[in-house]
Amino acid sequence: MSRRAILTAAAGAAIAAPFGFVCRARAQEAKRLKLAWMPTALCHIAVPVALHRGFFEKYQLNVESINWAGSTDLLLQSVSSGTADLALGMALRWIKPLEAGFDVKLTGATHGGCMNILAARNSGLTNLQSLRGKRIGVGDIAGVDRNFFAIALSKRGIDPVNEIDWRQFPPDLLGVAVEKGEVDAISTSDPLAYKLKQSHNLVEVATNLVDEYADRACCVIGVRGSLYRADRPTAVAASKALIEAAQWSHENPDDAAAAYAPYAPKENPADLGRMLRTLTNHRHPIGEDFKTEIITYAEELKVVEVLKRTTDTKKFADRVVVDIN
């Protein structure tokens, strides 16, 4: 090898060495976090997109996902205790256990939509008002969709306890319950709702984007309280990564569906893209706007007696909601 070649190689090595050191240093600096989510929930699309499209890396975060299938109380306990650092879930499902004192801070929302009431095409049911006196099948009698639609019905003058007959069925048998005439309508969420529309020829009666809820978010981000207090920048960064991933999903639903597809191998990616288009993934309030939505949901939960009527919802929101602006 010539002297010039040796000098050139040495110079290249001198340049490459510090660059490689910087890359390794950045990798070592990445904060490690554990995120709990439910892969069966398509509305949690922000998680696979953030994991596989570089949104966490953008904020120097090394995030491990935990596939969660347990109860909401156990999920919030896992975040509060440090088993997980953050999680996604539905505001209406989280508010009651958060009132009990779990050390979890709500940082923002990721989207709206995902809950549906469906009925047979020839049922004559067309809106919430038409459900008075009807039987509605649900997968969980204390579930978030039951609570949401109970609130919406109550606001329209329908007593959700005495004028609606709620009946619980295994989720995969809800369509059969309609076909057999055991219920007049069912309540569930995507991707199951989409599949039931196709397989049982059902139509949409109402969603959680109806009327006054059209611009309301439903799924929220919760971070471990001790993480927020000790390392607010990391908690904020993780939240912003998820919010940006949600926005990207809104702008690129088919690519987002492809990121989610490995978690739902039985689903057609094209169908997943269609489902994502029905969500408001561009709707992700933070700060005072987000706090106002949490207060509103809490007030509504008092109406259906999930929260005590004496609950001070503003004090509650001041305690659990933090501003990541």
Q: What is the mean pLDDT of residues 293-310?
A: 93
Q: At 71, is the pLDDT very low, low, confident or very high (cuts 50, 70, 90)?
A: confident
The predicted model scores a pTM of 0.87
The amino acid at 134: K
Residue 296: per-residue pLDDT: 96
φ/ψ bin of 124: left (φ > 0), alpha (ψ from -120 to 50), beta (otherwise) = left
Q: What is the mean pLDDT of residues 5-9?
A: 41
Residue 69: per-residue pLDDT: 82
pLDDT tens-digit map of 200-250:
999 999 999 989 999 999 999 999 999 999 999 999 999 999 999 999 999
CB atoms within 10 A of CB 173: 14
Domains of the chain: 33-111+218-320 (3.40.190.10), 115-207 (3.40.190.10)
Q: At 28, is the pLDDT very low, low, confident or very high (cuts 50, 70, 90)?
A: low
Average pLDDT over the chain, rounded to whole? 90
Measured distance CA(29)–CA(74) in Å, rounded = 31
Residue keyed to tokens 């978030």 = 144
Confidence check: pLDDT of 11 > 50 = no
pLDDT tens-digit map of 261-278:
999 998 899 999 999 999
pLDDT tens-digit map of 122-175:
999 999 999 999 999 999 988 889 999 999 999 999 999 999 999 999 999 999
Measured distance CA(119)–CA(80) in Å, rounded = 39
Measured distance CA(215)–CA(79) in Å, rounded = 28
Structural element, H or E, at residue 50: helix 46-52
Q: At 10, is the pLDDT very low, low, confident or very high (cuts 50, 70, 90)?
A: very low
Residue 1: per-residue pLDDT: 47
